Structure 1
C-alpha cells in the first residue's frame, strides 16, 4: 500500500498507558487507510499489547521498539523503571523516528503522544508538524494538574489539607488530600512529578488534547478545559465507540463460572490492576469480609499475593467464590451476574465499570486513583470509597452491604445506569465524542 502521510505515535510504556493509546491509533487507522502509523514504545510493552491476532485493518500500523533506559539485568521497582525511561528520553524516540522515516521514505507529518511525553511538543515544533497529546486519565485529574501552580500557592498550611479546592471549576467537592501527589512537587520531586509539571507547561502549545472519556461526565470541567486549549477532544469511551472482538475461550473459566450464577447482579468482581496488590493485612481483611457475608465473588489476584490469603480461605469459600490470576475484565463487567466492582480506581477500570453499568467500591493506591475515587463517590455518586483508605474487615463488610443491599445502594445503581446512558449517547452518530473524533481525523489528515 502506498502511504501519503506518516504519523509518529510516542507511547509511555507503564501501567495501562500504552494499550489505550494503541486502541486510539487502531481506531484512527481504520478511518485513514492512506496514513502510516509508526508506534514507538518499549519492546516489553510492545510485546504485551501487540498480539498475533491484529486484524488486517491494522496493516498501516507498525511497531518500533525504543530503549527503555534500563541496564541489563535490571530488577528495580516500577517507579525506578519510570525514572530510567524518562532519563533516556527523548533521544531514544528520536533514533526510532529516524529509522521509521528511513524505512517508509516519508517524514513524520504529525506526532501523537502520551501526554506525559511533553518533549514531543519540541520534536513536533522542530519538524513544523502538529502535536496531539493523549491524556489517558479523566478530565478531572487533567484539570487538577493544569491548576498545579494555583494549588501550590493555595496549599500553604496544615489547615488547608482538608479544605476543598473550590477555585477549580468542577472540582468544588474535591479536597487537597484527594489530589494526585505529583501536584505537590516540593513534597514529591519524583521524575514523574517533574515530567507532569513540564507537561502542564507544554500542553497549551498542542494542536489538540485528546481523552478517552466523554464530555457529559464532567460538563463544568469540559467547558473550562475547552477554554484552555486549541481543541479539547473527548472521544470515548473507546470500548463503546469501537468495541474490540473478544476471545470466547476463557482459560481461567471466569465466564463459564459466571454463567452458573443463578441471580443477576449478585457477583462481586475484585481486581486491583496490573501494577500493585493490596498489602497482606488488607487482603486478609477483604477475605474475611467475603467469607463472613458469603456473597458470590470473582477475584483476580496475582499469584504472589495469593500467599497472603488466610489459611483455609479457598476451601471455605469454594462454593461461592473463585480466585484467578487473570480475568477478561471487560467481559466480566459486562456479564449480567456481576453487580459490583471492587477496584483500585484506575481510569480505564472506572470507565469500563461505567460503560457496563456496574457500581464500585474504591481502594486507590497512587497517582490519580484517589481523585477518581472521590469523583466516583461524591461527584458522580456511582460507588463508595473504603473508610480509612484501606480494607479493614468491618469497614469492608459495611461497604459491601451498603452497595449490594441498602436503599442507598439502589440509588448508586440508578446513577451508574444514567451515566452509562450518557456514555452510550456520546458515541452515537451525532454524539459529542463522535463529533470530536471527526475533528481529530481532520487534524491528523491535513497535509503538511
Structure 2
C-alpha cells in the first residue's frame, strides 16, 4: 500500500526512441496503460524535440513527461548523426531522466521499465535497478524473430559478400518461424546493407538482450 506521499505506488518509466513514429506509438501505449492502472505512476522519457510534438496531446493525470539529453549540440545535424548521438548518450541520459522523475514524484522509485524494443540500454538500466524490463516491439513477430536469430542467420546464410547472391529467393526453412519468408525478405542490417552502422549494431544488441526481458509486448497483426 502506498503512503501519503505515494511511496509504494507502482512507478513505470517508459523510454522512447525519439525518431520517426516510435515516441508516438510508445506514448499511445503509455496512455492505455495509465488509463487501465490509475493508481500507478507513469514517467515518459524521450528527447525534448520529440516531446514537443505531442506535449499538448491529452494524457491521463498519472502520466508525466521528462526530456532526456539527446546528445546534440546547438549545431544542426542531420537525422543519421542525431540518431548516432542519441545512441551514444544512452544509457546515461535515461538514468538521469529516471532520477529526475523519482525526485519529482516525491521519491517514488521506478518499479518497472518499458521501452522501445530496440533499446537494449533500457534493459541495462532496468537490470542495474533490479526491476523488470518490458520491451514493446511494434514491427510484428517475424521481424522480432529475425533480430533474435541474427547470429544464427549470419552463420547459416552468410553476410554481405560471404552470402551466395543466387540464394536470395530461397525460403528460410532453417528458422521455423520464418519459413514462409525468403532470405531477401530479411530487414536490412541483418545480412545485407551496412551491418556495422550504429542502428544495425543497436538492433543486433537488442536481439541479444530481449531474451532476458521479463515480458515482451508486441503487435500480432
Q: TM-score, normalised by structure 2?
A: 0.89
State the match for 1:149 in structure 2.
151
State the match for 1:159 in structure 2.
166
Give the C-alpha shift of residue 200 in structure 1.
0.9
Alignment partner of 2:178: what SS? coil
Alignment partner of 1:180: what SS? coil
Report 1 or 2 for greater relative contact order, CA contacts < 8 Å, sequence distance ≥ 6: 2
Give the C-alpha shift of residue 122 in structure 1.
1.8
Mapping 1:12-27, distance limit 5 Å: 12-27=17-32
Aligned residues: 210
Q: In 2, Cα distance between the equivalents of 1:128 and 1:136?
A: 25
CA contact under 8 A between 1:110 and 1:124: conserved in structure 2? Answer: yes
Q: In 2, Cα distance between the equivalents of 1:75 and 1:130?
A: 35
Unaligned 5+ segments in structure 2 are: 159-163
Is 1:200 matched with 2:197? Answer: no
Alignment partner of 1:199: what SS? helix
Q: In 1, Cα distance between the equivalents of 2:109 and 2:149?
A: 36
State the match for 1:394 in structure 2.
none
Mapping 1:406-417, distance limit 5 Å: none
CA contact under 8 A between 1:155 and 1:161: conserved in structure 2? Answer: no
Instruction: Show CA shifts across 1:2-50 (max 9, x none).
Output: 6412111100011111111111110110111111111000011111123
Instruction: Show CA shifts across 1:324-365 (max 9, x none).
Output: xxxxxxxxxxxxxxxxxxxxxxxxxxxxxxxxxxxxxxxxxx
CA contact under 8 A between 2:118 and 2:202: conserved in structure 1? Answer: yes
State the match for 2:179 in structure 1.
172
Q: In 2, Cα distance between the equivalents of 1:2 and 1:22?
A: 26
CA contact under 8 A between 1:6 and 1:36: conserved in structure 2? Answer: yes
State the match for 2:63 in structure 1.
61
Instruction: Show CA shifts across 1:99-139 (max 9, x none).
Output: 11111111111111111110221211121111011112111
Q: In 2, Cα distance between the equivalents of 1:5 and 1:183?
A: 37
Q: In 1, Cα distance between the equivalents of 2:168 and 2:150?
A: 15
Is 1:190 matched with 2:203? Answer: no
Alignment partner of 2:21: what SS? coil
Choose from 130, 133, 136 the match for 1:131: 133
CA RMSD of aligned residues (A): 1.8
Give the C-alpha shift of residue 187 in structure 1.
4.2
Give the C-alpha shift of residue 61 in structure 1.
0.4
Give the C-alpha shift of residue 173 in structure 1.
3.0
CA contact under 8 A between 1:185 and 1:193: conserved in structure 2? Answer: no
Is 1:9 matched with 2:14? Answer: yes
Change (3 A) 1:184 1:71: farther
Alignment partner of 2:46: what SS? strand
State the match for 1:115 in structure 2.
117
Q: In 2, Cα distance between the equivalents of 1:118 and 1:89?
A: 10
State the match for 1:33 in structure 2.
38
Higher helix share: 1
CA contact under 8 A between 2:142 and 2:178: conserved in structure 1? Answer: yes
Is 1:79 matched with 2:80? Answer: yes
Instruction: Show CA shifts across 1:138-159 (max 9, x none).
Output: 1111111111112111223222
State the match for 1:44 in structure 2.
49
Q: In 1, Cα distance between the equivalents of 2:192 and 2:111?
A: 35
Change (3 A) 1:73 1:187: closer
Q: TM-score, normalised by structure 1?
A: 0.45
Instruction: Show CA shifts across 1:354-388 (max 9, x none).
Output: xxxxxxxxxxxxxxxxxxxxxxxxxxxxxxxxxxx
CA contact under 8 A between 2:135 and 2:213: conserved in structure 1? Answer: yes
Alignment partner of 2:70: what SS? coil
State the match for 2:161 in structure 1.
none
Larger Rg: 1
CA contact under 8 A between 1:120 and 1:131: conserved in structure 2? Answer: yes
CA contact under 8 A between 2:48 and 2:67: conserved in structure 1? Answer: yes
Give the C-alpha shift of residue 169 in structure 1.
2.3
